[in-house]
Amino acid sequence: MTSSDRYGPTRMKDVASAAGVSMTTVSLVLNDKAVGIPAETKQRVLDAAAALGYRPNALAANLRTRTSDTIGFVSDTIATTPYAGAMIQGAQDAAWKAGKLILTINTNGDPAVEAYALNALLGRQVEGIVYAAMYHQMIEVPAAAKEVPLVLLDARSADSEIPSVVPDERGGAYEATSHLISHGHKRIGFLKNTASVPAANERLEGYREALEANAIAFDGELVVAGDSGLAGGYAAAMALLVEPHRPTGLFCFNDAMAAGAARAAHELNLRIPDDLSLVGFDNLELVAPFTNPPLTTMQLPHYEMGVWAVEQLINRIDGEDFSVFHQRMQCPLVERASVGPPPTRT
Partner DNA sequence: TCCGGTTGATAAATCGGTTTAGTGAATCGG
Partner DNA sequence: CCGATTCACTAAACCGATTTATCAACCGGA
Residues that bind its own copies (CB under 8 A): 55-60, 62-63, 68, 70, 78-82, 84-86, 88-89, 92, 96, 101-106, 113, 119-125, 230, 256, 259, 263, 284-287, 290, 292, 303
List the single partner that 81 binds among its own copies, DNA, none, CB under 5 to 8 Å by kind: its own copies
Q: Which of 1, 5, 8, 244 binds DNA (CB under 7 A)?
A: 8
The answer to whether 210 and 173 have CB atoms below 8 angstroms apart is yes
Which of 35-43, 109-117, 264-272, 312-320 is the region at the interface with DNA (rule: CB under 7 A)? 35-43
Of 9 and 289, the one with the shorter C-beta distance to DNA is 9
Rounded Cα–Cα distance for residues 246 and 268 (Å): 12
135: helix, coil or strand? Answer: strand
Rounded Cα–Cα distance for residues 23 and 29 (Å): 10
**Residue 197: partners with Cβ closer than 8 Å, 6 or more residues away:** 135, 136, 137
Of 96 and 218, the one with the shorter C-beta distance to its own copies is 96
Give the DSSP letter string of 74-88.
EES-STT-TTHHHHH
Q: Which of 13, 183, 186, 187 binds DNA (CB under 7 A)?
A: 13
CB of 175 to its own copies, least distance (A): 23
Rounded Cα–Cα distance for residues 30 and 56 (Å): 9
Residue 11 in the binding site for DNA (CB under 7 A): yes
Rounded Cα–Cα distance for residues 70 and 313 (Å): 12
Of 94 and 188, the one with the shorter C-beta distance to its own copies is 94
Of 119 and 182, the one with the shorter C-beta distance to DNA is 119
Helix (H) or strand (E) holding 193: strand 188-193
Of 23 and 337, the one with the shorter C-beta distance to DNA is 23
229: helix, coil or strand? Answer: coil
CB of 18 to DNA, least distance (A): 12
